Structure 1
Amino acid sequence: MGGSINGGPTGDTAADRPAAAGRATTVSMQDVAREAGVSPQTVSRVANGSDAVRPETRLRVEQAMERLGYRPNYAARALKRGRFRAVGVVLFDMARFGNARILAGITAAANDEGYATTIHTIGKGRRHTLQSIIERMKQLPVDGVIVVLEEPIDDMDDFTPPADLPVVLVNERPSDGCPTVDADQYGCSTALVDYLLAKGHRTVYHIAGPAASRAAESRARGWRDALHQAGAPVPPTYIGDWGADSGYQAGLALAHERDCTAVYAANDQMAYGAILGLRAAGRRVPEDVSVVGVDDSLVGMVPRLELTTMRMPFAEIGRRAFSMVLRRCEGEPVPVGVKTVVPTELVERSSVRDLAAGAV
């Protein structure tokens, strides 16, 4: 398909041509060649980024393209080269902080390689299969697909990607059919629990994310297993929805748990809400209750940020995912059945009290 502009039928000089009302025309390479006074082959070389064109000729062709509103015919180029130079990204929710940062990493890496990004959201709360998602993406001009699996998917264990469309998953659990990349959601929880226990806390309360979230499930499991491993009591779980208001309500409730000296919230918004809820109920942070979160999403949003957190490398996960799908597009092997783990980083601030040392 060619590019389209609003204008009239082609003639000798596009800039002087009257527009035909209500009709769009397709600008061809031949139109650009006439406008620039060069051959169609020269226009083709410029459009394809060839170095075999003199700079002054390239400039003249580019100026003609701009005047006429020419857009390269990517479908024809794909037929010729076997590549669209575009990658599809599938997400449940583009507005979530982690998803938005992963997407930013993908698009930045794609841009560096001259690739476009086609984004498809599939909606939260509905049952989906990878098979149906990929069948939808096969209808679009993309060379490969990255699926960010925020929620459980029905055919995760049975899915086999098509031979002609590389698929990479951003997912906590590895897939036998697709390369997989993610941070260690489980391990970040065990590390935070161990950190709080080492500070002298007898146990750690947990504010979990929504039950439908794969990351929330992995973080809750890591919290529980770390307490079991340490022989510490496992208190009841408080369920939030990733939002600060749900953290605030949990904080109000936790203020009445007499043995609660440490709280681990599954993301920073809930952790910050919990701090406000605890303080509203008369508990001091960190003097009475230590609070930690995950993701480090409040930097630049909350002044004098005091929250200790586990920073999630979302943008790097996106860059790694694009690198993996690009390698598959170019025919390079990328391991399946294992997950590429991007390390997390503990960021210590002032929301944790060291009970063992008796200091804040």
Structure 2
Amino acid sequence: MERTPQASMQDVAKEAGVSPQTVSRVANGSNAVRPETRQRVEAAMEKLGYRPNYAARALKHGRFKDIGVVLFNMTTYGNARILNGIATTAADNDYSITVQTMKHGPERTLNTAIERMKQQPVDGVIVVLEEMIADFNTFVPPKELPVVLVTEGPSDNCPTIDTDQYGCSTAVVDFLLSKGHRTVYHICGPSSSRAAESRLKGWRDALEQVGARVPSTYVGDWEADSGYQAGLALAHDPECTAIYAANDQMAYGAICGLEAAGKRVPEDVSVIGVDDSLVGMVPRLNLTTMRMRFDRIGSEAFAMIRRQCEGEKVPVGVKTVIPPELVERGSVRDISA
């Protein structure tokens, strides 16, 4: 099928009975156009299928009003919610987003990701950095392209934002110990994950700080099946009265494994997860969890990159923290009485 030629600014001007300059003003959002004229031009644009030339718009205004977003993948719950927060806030501010995923292999670096994104018409880049990456400490963003990192730990060269992964774990341990449990078993995420490593460290430090026994960990892969296998194994440990899983899928899997082995939750074993991702997916959800405010992280990350794109300075070397919140349901039992 032959492709229909794209309508030009001159075509729209002829259809609306105005000058090309007036069409340009409407396309660029200028207020110097009468409302009735604007409506006529917009109607002509829609009729002819006119698309504004954003490259020309960037030359005039100095910005494309488009933000690049780089992720390792778009399928995990946290990444999807962060991306949703970025996209929603961008739309509310008349920005668009351009999404890319990280390359695999030796090219999986910040430098490579930003070089790829520099080929796109974007004003700045948000990188959701969920895994360890070789050039994190050495990466310096280009002067012409600001970068915000959604990641654990501050960067000396980029503004960073994330939830408090470490503090999430210390809060979970303190909560379970306050319910009378002598220690807390942990099903951690994969070692490639920055979040999993921080949650693991927070769990261990919190137990050591109060002199509680630090049990062996069970390493999961974020999936419910790995939690199920851990639950089966822990059901045979008489010392295990409380389990902290690094995400809700593994926590739910652990509950299923415990129950398959004859244990009751929370009567025999208390279980707590992280992220509150099962709402609307599991009927009569009873899992106590630490809710991560991923949408807000995405929204705040967009605000940070937009400020830089519009000429403001955003501090580096300090991480902006969006704290998690405890959501109590029915999977934790108080045994202190």
Structure 1 residue runs without a partner (length 5+)? 1-20
Question: Equivalent residue for 2:49?
Answer: 69
Partner of 2:191, secondary structure, is coil
1:156-195 alignment to 2 at 5 Å? 156-195=136-175
Partner of residue 104, structure 1: 84
1:283 and 2:263 are equivalent in the alignment: yes
1:137 aligns with 2:137: no
Number of matched residues?
Answer: 337
Q: Identify if the C-alpha distance between structure 1 residues 236 and 127 changes in structure 2 by more than 3 Å, giving closer, same or farther.
A: farther
Structural mapping, 1:1-360, within 5 Å: 22-122=2-102, 128-357=108-337
SS of residue in 2 equivalent to 1:25: coil
- Partners of 2:220 and 2:98 lie apart in 1 by 32
| Map of 1:16 onto structure 2 | none
Q: Which whole-Å CA distance do the structure 1 matches of 2:62 and 2:254 have between them? A: 53
Q: Give a deviation string over 1:270-296, Cα, whole Å, max 9, x none.
A: 101100110000011001100000001
TM-score scaled by length of structure 1: 0.91
Structure 1 residues 130 and 351, CA, compared in 2 at 3 Å: closer, same or farther?
A: same
| Runs of 4+ displaced beyond 6 Å | none
Contact kept? 1:93, 1:123, Cα under 8 Å: no
User: What is the DSSP-based 3-state SS (H/G/I as helix, E as strand, rest coil) of the residue aligned with 1:153?
Assistant: coil
Question: 1:79-124 deviations in whole A, cap 9, x for unaligned?
Answer: 1211000000000010110000001111111111110011111156
Given that 2:162 and 2:321 are in contact with CA atoms closer than 8 Å, whether structure 1 keeps it comes out as yes
Any gaps of 5 or more consecutive residues in structure 2?
none
* Partner secondary structure for residue 26 of structure 1: coil
Q: Does the aligned pair in 2 maintain the 1:127–1:153 contact within 8 Å?
A: no
> SS of 1:61's equivalent?
helix
Check conservation: 2:6, 2:49, Cα contact below 8 A.
Answer: no
Which amino acid in the other structure matches residue 208 of structure 1?
A: C
Question: Which structure has the greater CA radius of gyration?
Answer: 1
Q: What is the TM-score when the length of structure 2 is the normalising length?
A: 0.98
Q: How far apart are the structure 2 equivalents of 1:205 and 1:125?
A: 34
Could you tell me whether the CA contact under 8 Å between 1:262 and 1:290 is conserved in 2? yes
Identity over aligned residues, as a percent?
73
Kindly provide the CA deviation profile for residues 107-144 of structure 1, in whole angstroms up to 9, marking residues without a partner as x: 11111111001111115676621111111111101000
Cα separation, 1, equivalents of 2:317 and 2:237: 43
**Rounded Cα–Cα distance in structure 1 between residues aligned with 2:35 and 2:278:** 47
